[in-house]
Structure 1
Amino acid sequence: MKNSKGGIYKRFVKRPMDFILSLIAIIVLSPIFLIVALLVRTKLGSPVLFKQKRPGLNEEIFMMYKFRTMTDERDENGNLLPDSVRLTRFGKLLRSTSLDELPELLNIIKGDMSIVGPRPQLVRDMVFMNQKQRERHTVLPGLTGWAQVNGRNCVTWEEKLSYDIKYLSNITFLEDWKIIFMTVAKVFKRDGISTEGMDTAEDFGDYLLRIGQIDNRTYIKGLEKSKKIAN
């Protein structure tokens, strides 16, 4: 699935620009990092950072960092309660302002992510994508992307993945900066934070099962496959 195509910007400029801008952002936003970390520790407890394995460039798995937005509340059997129950008012605020995404700047510094690119979805989302949709993994995943400025979580999965594929054919300096400025505007407006009627985004496999594009057997096989990949 490796993709060696790309212009001068994609091959030689994009990565250094990502590193420099992310380093500057971490330095400038360090007071906000500290304040949010203290609030998360006070309101939600430890750990402050939420870590989760995500598919990156060429589907290699990396650990993505975010500020924690949910509690660890469990039922009498020790199972985590639904996301909608564990997502607190404070957690919703972090998500609506995108402050929970700030630690991903560390992923960009490490080279796991880019500032602009297809958002890193869950491993259990990737296994349900078709071959064309999985082409989104031929570039570094991004902190923001073309899908995020065109609806974020308020578009269908098909539309979201289609936007990701469209971005692959137009990776330029001007396009990336256009997406960055559009992202800033979206963050201030708090557009597209969640799907209507849902507190958290629906997994791709759950979506396909719900609309009848896959059966229960395929769904279970996909989940089992994702667990093996993540482990």
Structure 2
Amino acid sequence: MYKSFFKRILDLILALVALPFWFIILLIIGPIIYFQDKGSIFYNAPRLGKDGKVFKMYKFRSMKMNAPDLRNEDGSTFNAEDDPRLTRIGKFIRKTSLDETPQLLNIIKGDMSIIGPRPDLPEHHKLYEGNEARKLEVRPGVSGFNQAYFRNTVPWKERIQNDIYYIDHLSFWLDIKIFFKTAVSVLKSEDVFVKESSTEATKNKKVSM
């Protein structure tokens, strides 16, 4: 019942409550993003949603206009603290995860959930193997199991298996644990940027459920 009904109701209520506070963030961050390079405030990224539907995921723009698209070997997006594509304000909003806050609008629209698998790029759909397409069984989330416990320290394929683990164990209490673990990770700025190999990072992480 939670997965099929109450989760969506809870998402909508919390997003509407948070919306006025997000408008304050928009009024502060928006002009800074614009005046640093006279570019757009938002970055609307196409992403895979529930059942493979493509939607526009909203983010505050953290990179310079017309920055090149860089990818890691596994096809995931490149992410590093010294990335020259980031603007000055972009480094700050990326590190504090403020760049993700416009996804409140995606939650209200029904594209996303507060907690769920992070959405993949549309072209990743054809790269899924075995049971990996199962991550599309639920709405993608602003945060999720990977973001709470590993953030950016595990490879893409491993993230997908963690997403499937989440789907198989989805419950109200698991969402609560992920929510508060995410809050702690954001406040500590843990694992925002990849600083070591994914294999070593995984070895050094211990997940406590």
TM-score, normalised to structure 2, is: 0.83
- Alignment counterpart, residue 4 of structure 2, candidates 4, 11, 22: 11
Aligned residue among 50, 59, 71 for 2:64:
71
Correspondences of 1:158-197 after superposition (within 5 Å)? 158-196=157-195
Cα offset, 1:44, TM superposition = 3.5
> What is the root-mean-square deviation of aligned Cα atoms in Å?
1.8
Residue aligning to 2:129: 130
Q: 1:47 to 1:132 in 2, by over 3 A?
A: same
The CA distance in 2 between the partners of 1:149 and 1:70, in whole Å, is 24
Checking the alignment, whether the CA contact within 8 Å between 1:152 and 1:160 is kept in structure 2 is no
How far apart, in 2, do the equivalents of 1:159 and 1:17 lie?
29
Take 1:45 and 1:131, find their aligned partners in 2: how far apart are those partners?
Answer: 45
| Corresponding pairs, count | 186
Question: How far 1:131 sits from its partner (Å)?
Answer: 3.4
Judged with a 3 Å threshold, the aligned counterparts in structure 2 of structure 1 residues 132 and 99 are, in CA distance, closer, same or farther, namely: same
Task: Give 1:57's aligned residue.
Answer: 50
Alpha-carbon distance between aligned partners in 1 of 2:92 and 2:27, rounded to the nearest angstrom:
17
Q: Tell me the CA shift for residue 85 of structure 1.
A: 2.8
Q: Tell me the amino acid that sits aligned with residue 16 of structure 1.
A: I
Q: What TM-score do the two structures reach when normalised by structure 1?
A: 0.75
CA contact (8 A) 1:51 1:65 kept: yes
Choose 1 or 2 for highest CA Rg: 1
* 2:33 counterpart of 1:40: yes
CA spacing shift, 1:140–1:73, aligned 2, 3 Å: closer
**C-alpha displacement at 1:158, in angstroms?**
2.7
1:97-145 Cα distance to aligned partner (Å, 9 max, x none): 0000010110000000000000011122332121311110010000000
- Tell whether the 8 Å contact from 2:39 to 2:65 is kept in structure 1 after alignment: no
Instruction: Give 1:81 shift.
Output: 7.8
Per the alignment, residue 109 of structure 1 pairs with 108
1:89 — aligned with what?
88
Change (3 A) 1:81 1:152: closer
How big is the shift at 1:31? 1.1
Matched, 1:27 2:20: yes
1:197 to partner: Cα distance:
6.6
CA distance in structure 2 between the partners assigned to 1:81 and 1:109 by the alignment: 29
- Runs (5+) with no aligned partner, structure 2: 71-77, 198-209
Unaligned stretches of 5+ in structure 1?
1-7, 75-79, 199-231
